[in-house]
Structure 1
Amino acid sequence: MMNPEERERLKACHDEIAQILYRNSPPESLEDLESIEQHLRQQWLEVMGPDIAFFLSKQQPGQKKDEKGL
C-alpha cells in the first residue's frame, strides 16, 4: 500500500505530466472529451507506455506472477 509521502509525490508528478501534455497538445485535440482521450492515449503509447511496460516486465525479487503470468 502506498504511504502518504509516496501518494503526495505521485500527485505532484501527475500534475507536472498533465501540464507538459497540455502545453504540447494542439488546440483541436482539446475541443471535446473524445479528442482529449485520443490525444492522451496517443501520447501515452508513444512516450510513456514503452518505458512503463519495460519497468513492469522486470519481475522484482520476491514478487510472484499471477495465473496470467503478470
Structure 2
Amino acid sequence: MNQAERLELEACLRRASEILYNNSDTDSLETLADIEITVRNQILEYVSPQIALFLSPKKPKPDAGKPEP
C-alpha cells in the first residue's frame, strides 16, 4: 500500500468510526468493556459483511477432491 492509499484508508476509517459512534448509545459507553462490546457488535453487523465481499469476489469453486452432494 502506498502512502496516498494509506492516507485515504485512514480518512475513510475515521469517517466510518464517526458514523458508528454517532449511531451508538453513548450513554451506555461507560467502561472499556462497554466500548469493546459495542465496537465488536458494530464490526460484526456492519463491517465484516463488507470485508467478506472483498475477500470472496467470485463464487467459490467446489473442492475437486470432494464429491458434490
TM over 0.5: yes
CA RMSD of aligned residues (A): 1.5
Partner residue, 2:52: 53
Report the count of equivalent residues: 58
Q: Describe how 1:19-34 pairs up with structure 2 within 5 A.
A: 19-34=18-33
Q: Which ranges in structure 2 are unaligned for 5 or more consecutive residues?
A: 59-69
What is the TM-score when the length of structure 1 is the normalising length? 0.72
Fraction of identical pairs, as percent:
48
Task: Verify the 8 A CA contact 1:29 1:35 in the aligned structure 2.
Answer: yes
The one-character-per-residue Cα deviations of 1:14-66 (angstroms, maximum 9, x if unpaired) are 1101111111110234211111111111111111111211211237xxxxxxx
- Runs of 4 or more, structure 1, over 2 Å off, are none
What is the TM-score when the length of structure 2 is the normalising length? 0.73
Q: Which ranges in structure 1 are unaligned for 5 or more consecutive residues?
A: 60-70
Q: Highest Rg: 1 or 2?
A: 2
